[in-house]
A and B are shown apart, each in its own frame.
Chain A
Amino acid sequence: MTKTGISWFRFSSPATFYPLAGRLVPWFGTAAAVLALVGLYLGFFVAPTDYQQGESYRIIFIHVPAAWMAMFTYLVMAGWCAASLIWNTRMSAMMAQALAPTGAMFAFVSLWTGAFWGRPTWGTYWVWDARLTSTLILLFLYLGYIALRSAIDDPRRADRASALLALVGVVNVPIIYFSVKWWNTLHQGASVSMTAAPKMAQTMLVTMLIMAFAAWFYTIAVALHRVRSIILEREAHTDWVRALVQRSPQ
């Protein structure tokens, strides 16, 4: 570490991270709520009707952010899992554990909203197309990760086993992302690309990005809140947690 500046490894200790996470939760939570309200207002009252799809396209404002968040959260979760396997740090494993339910929630929401967008657009709620199927697998990976964790009593063994599962499953994320290019799918191609001009109106794009940021901040707030509970669960035997709960913490 450098001699000056913040020592980031200090925060890998649960006792140091717990109060920091507690201070961050309200900020991220408020940011998520404000962005979501702005996004909903733009999405329903400002964004124009789509000339091809009519009003049903408004589902995009939650469908795409949820799908992005489900994929991105998996990558972050797998990153924490890798860190916990390499450095054997407790905090990394706890962060992965805290992200999984929110990732599963967004994977489910992206499938659900996709079904209700597919019905008026394609005429069907579901097809076994590459993108839909690989997203369903993503949901199962999250659920498998959670189930495997809860099936193993010893937390350190649960960390290692579930980290391996998460890392093997990471191969699914590029499959989801590139599925619309690699295979002939019913699902439309990417609406937003780093290399090409966006295929959508400016207002729609801005609204979708605002909702995507709302999803980010929501995920950070919820994961930090959940990791505090996980710290209390797993460090219940330590002196600092005992002192904390006897002072009735907030």
Chain B
Amino acid sequence: MSEWFAMGGHGYYIWASYLMLALAVAVELLMIRRRRTQAIEHARMSAEEEESA
């Protein structure tokens, strides 16, 4: 198992690459979720402002 992770001595380079991709995708997925929540919140607030005006 640990031999597999070592990847013939190239483990550091391989996992640094794959982990960065995983991290970048995770960050992007979090960002699009947060953007949606904020967009809905913003639209809801502007709708309420309009109603009370």
Question: Are B10 and A120 touching (Cβ within 8 A)?
Answer: yes
How many interface contacts (CB-CB < 8 Å) are there between A and B?
93
- Min CB–CB distance A79 → chain B (angstroms): 22
Minimum distance in angstroms from B3 CB to a CB of chain A: 11
- The A interface, classified by DSSP as helix, strand, loop or mixed, is helix
Grouping DSSP codes into helix (H, G, I), strand (E, B) and loop, the B interface class, with mixed when no group exceeds half, is: helix
Q: Which of B11, B32, B47 is the most central at the interface, judged by chain A CB atoms within 10 Å of its CB?
A: B32
B38 to A: closest C-beta gap in Å: 8
- Interface size for B (C-beta < 8 A) is 29
| Bound CA–CA A150/B7 (angstroms) | 43
Please state if B13 and A249 are interface contacts (CB–CB under 8 Å): no
Residue among A54, A102, A218, A229 making CB contact with B8, cutoff 8 Å:
A54
- Complex Cα distance, B28 from A226, in Å, reads 10
Q: What residues on B are CB-neighbors of A222 within 8 Å?
A: 28-29, 32
Nearest 9 interchain pairs by C-beta: A232-B39, A56-B10, A242-B47, A113-B17, A55-B7, A229-B39, A236-B43, A55-B8, A245-B44
B-side residues, CB < 8 A to A, are 7-11, 13-14, 16-18, 20-21, 24-25, 28-29, 31-32, 35-36, 38-40, 42-44, 46-47, 50
Apart from A55-B10, A55-B11: 17 A-B pairs, beta carbons within 8 A? A49-B8, A55-B14, A56-B7, A58-B14, A59-B14, A62-B21, A105-B28, A108-B24, A109-B24, A120-B10, A225-B32, A232-B42, A233-B39, A233-B43, A236-B46, A241-B47, A246-B44
Q: Show 8 residue pairs from A and B whose CB-CB distance is below 8 angstroms, ordered by the A residue.
A: A105-B24, A105-B28, A120-B13, A225-B36, A226-B35, A233-B42, A233-B43, A246-B44
